[in-house]
Structure 1
């Protein structure tokens, strides 16, 4: 996988190549990272990439010309390397919310161009002409798209084949299709007794059927309490069993009894 990042601050992306499973995958050539500064693709002597917004308003806007020149150069490199139809993703607060499904789909492609906006945003004409997808990582505002791009990179790269030490980890995580898009509660490790709080006995008895049932109920419980919208999504997608629905009914009854 090849990821190309358009950013005014390429140094932000240095650390991700050296840390954790994503850094190890980079060193093992599971993915490639290139950063491009749009200042290097301007047609003015001062390398200026922004200007005042038409119609007034605070802040500055990144120019369409510098960004389109950068994308065009990257696409030419892609063509020479045999990469085609690479998506151009703008990290934007008005984009579609990034989730595990999108991470999985992107991990199955040959890569993407990620555009990190700054200031008050980017010229809409660049979006119209070059951007294929707009993605947001949540309902909040960042100073630029770099942190969002780092989050996307981490989420996608760890899904690449043979990146995680145990590929079963991907199947057992929150939001995975094997978890029906539900959340995982926090796990336990040694010691069994930590300051008088003891690991639940069901996790110690070696009965894998009981453990699976306990884990499923804990997953349903924490999702019901913290992200009930995911319960609805799992139900609509046909991921809930009759036992799941019975347990959710018990949770609802208990919730009503305490309100």
Structure 2
């Protein structure tokens, strides 16, 4: 059973998302385990301040290394008490490596992950150098904090764990799993607003349906994501 910890200034926000829907049900059934931790609880000052002005000047504030470090070390200790290895530690940063389905599949192989969320203008670089196994970015844009990025990574990794989805096909047929975008999906009624379900999907001929879906997947990828299509065509 995979365990995911998130170190954040907003643990209630993160935990509420993880406790909902598919992931929440999976946790209740014992297929996954999630914990969100308040970095502010590890400050050493009376004001519970977790940030300070950046050296060299500039606008904004930078998160201190000490509370982040102490929070992470306590999470490592909690994992060890469960008999788990040291978590694979990911820092959510705008300068991190781009996240992808391939990276999600790679991370899904770990027993436990620790996702660290920055805020304000970022984190003291020294704590990243001290603890990070990887830095991850979910896109070429900037958020107000790392919480949304951590939830994206946690969701995409945890859904790959055994028992979370009812069938492996729930993710193996989806976009990006095999390098292509997913084919179009339809449900009842057969006609809606003058638009009809493609006849092949009503034929009951599984071979033709699979052929249609693959062709649609190829065409959709070529049209919408030519970069993915070219990469797919080059792969052996």
Q: TM-score, normalised by structure 2?
A: 0.95
Corresponding residue for residue 218 of structure 2: 220
The match for 2:70 is 69
Q: Shift of residue 76 of structure 1?
A: 1.7
Cα deviation for residue 185 of structure 1 reads: 3.2
Match of residue 175 from structure 1: 176
| RMSD over equivalenced CA pairs, Å | 1.3
- Does structure 1 conserve the Cα–Cα contact (< 8 Å) formed by 2:117 and 2:146? yes
- Tell me the equivalent position of 1:38: 39
Map 1:199-214; keep pairs closer than 5 Å: 199-214=197-212
- Corresponding position of 1:81: 82
The alignment partner of 2:174 has SS state of coil
Q: Quick one: distance in 1 between partners of 2:45 and 2:188? A: 62
Matched residue, 1:130: 131
CA distance, structure 2, for counterparts of residue 128 and residue 77 of structure 1: 22
SS at 1:12 equivalent = helix
The alignment partner of 2:139 has SS state of coil
| SS in structure 1 at match of 2:56 | coil
Return 5+ residue gaps in structure 1 as ranges.
239-259
Between Structure 1 and Structure 2, how many residues are aligned?
A: 235
Structural mapping, 1:97-246, within 5 Å: 97-176=98-177, 180-238=178-236
Give the match for residue 95 of structure 2.
94
Cα displacement string for residues 102-137 of structure 1 (whole angstroms, at most 9, x for unaligned residues): 111222211111101000000000111111110011
Q: Which runs of 4+ in 1 moved over 4 A?
A: none
**Greater relative contact order: 1 or 2 (C-alpha under 8 angstroms, separation 6 or more)?**
2
Secondary structure at the aligned position of 1:202 is classed as helix
What SS class does the counterpart of residue 69 from structure 2 fall into? helix
Return the alpha-carbon distance in structure 1 between the equivalents of residues 85 and 209 of structure 2.
Answer: 46
Flag the structure with larger Rg. Answer: 1
In the TM superposition, what is the alpha-carbon distance from 1:144 to its structure 2 partner?
0.3
2:27 aligned with 1:29: no
